[in-house]
Chain A
């Protein structure tokens, strides 16, 4: 299985701050990497697909980058509604696997 390692596991930042989360794959996954947001008590929601493509309707303050084994997810200006846990997920190989999540607080 491909292991996905996210860091940090949690962070606290202020409104307006730039926030960056990293995700490392245990082997090369090209750009087969997605990012999800999960608000408390809700299902995950797709934000970014194929490492850097923003899903239609998702605010432009969210962005993603990277390829191969190292990926980043950035919130350019943290907003109160961004309080959530964020997950990366690879779909290069089965079984599909997720990172452990990063809890973002204000």
Chain B
């Protein structure tokens, strides 16, 4: 059974860059799946951030205003999220998940709280 685990450096300062990595175990990131980032805030609920396919194809939520970049490292079986120019509104629990286009999110990481604060 595939398992996902988010990791990141902790708090981020306003205008800085949020960086998170999702390690995939029990399955290959090169399988026929999209891999997504989803965040959750009390105010906006669950928000899909974007997704990547192992060949590098990506899709993003326009609400991010082109601040996000998702990449994949097949050698490490992981994928990553970078979100630039963060504000307090980016404070959220960030989840990585298997799925996206053409499918459900059938496996989720445990989530990691990212706080944007000076």
Contacts and interface: CB of A to CB of B under 8 A. Distances in A.
Given A43-B95, A87-B46, A94 B101 contact: yes
Interface string A60-96: 0000000000000000000000000001010100111
B63 A91 contact: no
Interface in B60-118: 60-63, 95, 100-106, 108-111
Interface string A25-41: 00000000010100000
Contact of B47 (A36, A50, A91, A98): A98
A89 B46 CA distance: 9
A49 B104 contact: yes
Contact of B108 (A44, A91, A94): A44
Interface residues of A, number: 21
Contact of A95 (B61, B95, B104, B110): B61
Interface of A: 34, 36, 42-46, 49-50, 55, 87, 89, 91, 94-101
